[in-house]
DNA sequence: ATGGCCTGCAACGCAGGA
């Protein structure tokens, strides 16, 4: 089984990218973020033709998440139960016996801003939700755009980014709280190239100069970890025409 | 050369991203 996450930064613009990537990778699950598509406009037909079942939770202009799966999706939950968040950022479903939680963590804009406070509060709600889900599902994966670079090795220039948004200690503490629930960062279970990033700024020729961050992650429960055989970032789609600023991350299981 | 973008919405710039 292969599961993946990809912040597409508008599914309308990136639909062809998703279909093309699917043809060469044939993953079982794709968690999408920033679909920026209302549910009435979700490209059901094209993705059905591509072989997917799907669940989506979108809104106008901003945010929006979706889960594409080869198998059937069941027990779908939209958002974080008990947390009345107008921003649509979380979608949960069970696929092939694995609980899949697709997350688009708020960006936070700048340390100390209102959006930063929202991000930290939001992460608190997410942590409590995942704790509950873990109690009910031994095979669980949280995939998505976490908007947190967990460690300095995930940052192209740690000195420049020190204490900044995506790298601040309170954000990293929240990430480590999630890990503390009994989750593993699948990417770090394996040897990886140095300077492994999943996002590069559109500005300043970020990709060409490899000025990236690793902020898209796949966190897996202990039971899934036992069968995890690999995890990698696929940089190829970032080289295509009109790319998303994020690349897919894939984890494989025996 | 030390900065350079992209998307959606609706308007002819803005908010937001990271």
Res A47: pLDDT: 97
How far apart are the C-alpha atoms of A183 and A87, rounded to whole Å?
25
Q: Report the sign of the C-alpha dihedral through residues A176, A249, A240, A68, in that order.
A: negative
Residue A160 to residues A163, A165, A197, Cα–Cα distance (Å): 9, 11, 16
How many Cβ atoms sit within 10 Å of the Cβ of residue A107?
Answer: 15
Active-site amino acid positions of A: 104, 145
Q: Could you say which nucleotides of strand B lie within 7 A of any protein CB atom?
A: 3-9, 16-18
Digit-coded pLDDT (tens) for A195-234: 999 999 999 999 999 999 999 999 999 999 999 999 999 9
Mean pLDDT of chain A: 97
Residue A188 to residues A58, A126, A127, A219, A230, Cα–Cα distance (Å): 31, 22, 20, 10, 10
Res A15: pLDDT: 97
Under a CB-based contact definition with an 8 Å cutoff, are residues A90 and A80 in contact? yes
Closest nt to residue A202, judged CA to C1': B5
How many Cβ atoms sit within 10 Å of the Cβ of residue A130?
Answer: 25
User: Does at least one atom of strand B sit less than 7 Å from the CB of A98?
Assistant: no
Digit-coded pLDDT (tens) for A43-77: 999 999 999 999 999 999 999 999 999 999 999 99
Residue A203 to residues A148, A208, A236, Cα–Cα distance (Å): 19, 10, 19
Residue nearest to nucleotide B7 (CA to C1'): A10
For A24 and B17, how far is CA from C1' in angstroms? 29
User: Does at least one atom of strand B sit less than 7 Å from the CB of A238?
Assistant: no
Residue A111 to residues A30, A60, A65, A150, A156, Cα–Cα distance (Å): 31, 26, 25, 16, 19
Residue nearest to nucleotide B6 (CA to C1'): A202
How far apart are the C-alpha atoms of A71 and A73, rounded to whole Å?
7
**pTM of structure:** 0.97
How far apart are the C-alpha atoms of A187 and A251, rounded to whole Å?
8
Res A31: pLDDT: 98
For A167 and B9, how far is CA from C1' in angstroms? 31
User: Does at least one atom of strand B sit less than 7 Å from the CB of A215?
Assistant: yes
Closest nt to residue A244, judged CA to C1': B6
Closest nt to residue A107, judged CA to C1': B18
Using 70 as the pLDDT threshold, list the residues of chain A that sit under it.
Answer: none
For A109 and B13, how far is CA from C1' in angstroms? 20
Res A6: pLDDT: 98
Instruction: Give the helix/strand (H/E) hosting A95.
Output: strand A90-95
Residue nearest to nucleotide B9 (CA to C1'): A61
List of A residues 149-188 with CB within 7 A of strand B = 165-166
Res A174: pLDDT: 98
Residue nearest to nucleotide B8 (CA to C1'): A61
């Amino acid at each position: 089984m292969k599961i993946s996450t990809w912040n597409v930064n508008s599914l309308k613009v990136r639909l062809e990218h998703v279909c093309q990537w699917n043809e060469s990778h044939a993953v079982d699950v794709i968690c999408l973020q920033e679909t920026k598509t209302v549910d009435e406009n979700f490209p059901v037909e094209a993705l059905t033709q591509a072989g997917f079942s799907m669940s989506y939770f979108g809104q106008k202009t901003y945010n929006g998440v979706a889960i594409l799966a080869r198998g059937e999706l069941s027990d779908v939950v939209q958002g974080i139960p008990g947390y009345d968040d107008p921003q649509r950022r979380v979608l949960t479903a069970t696929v092939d016996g694995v609980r899949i939680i697709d997350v688009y963590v708020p960006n936070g804009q700048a340390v100390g801003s209102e959006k930063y406070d929202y991000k930290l509060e939001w992460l608190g709600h997410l942590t409590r939700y995942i704790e509950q889900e873990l109690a009910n599902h031994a095979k669980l994966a949280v995939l998505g755009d976490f908007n947190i670079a967990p460690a300095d090795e995930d940052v192209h220039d740690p000195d420049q980014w020190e204490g900044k948004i995506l790298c601040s200690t309170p954000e990293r503490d929240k990430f480590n709280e999630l890990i503390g629930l009994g989750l593993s960062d699948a990417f770090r279970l394996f040897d990886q190239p140095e300077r492994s990033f999943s996002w590069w700024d559109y500005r300043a020729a970020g990709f060409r100069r490899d000025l990236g961050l690793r902020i898209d992650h796949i966190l897996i429960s202990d039971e899934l970890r036992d069968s995890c055989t690999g995890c990698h970032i696929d940089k190829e789609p970032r080289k295509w025409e009109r790319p998303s600023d994020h690349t897919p991350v894939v984890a494989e299981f025996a």
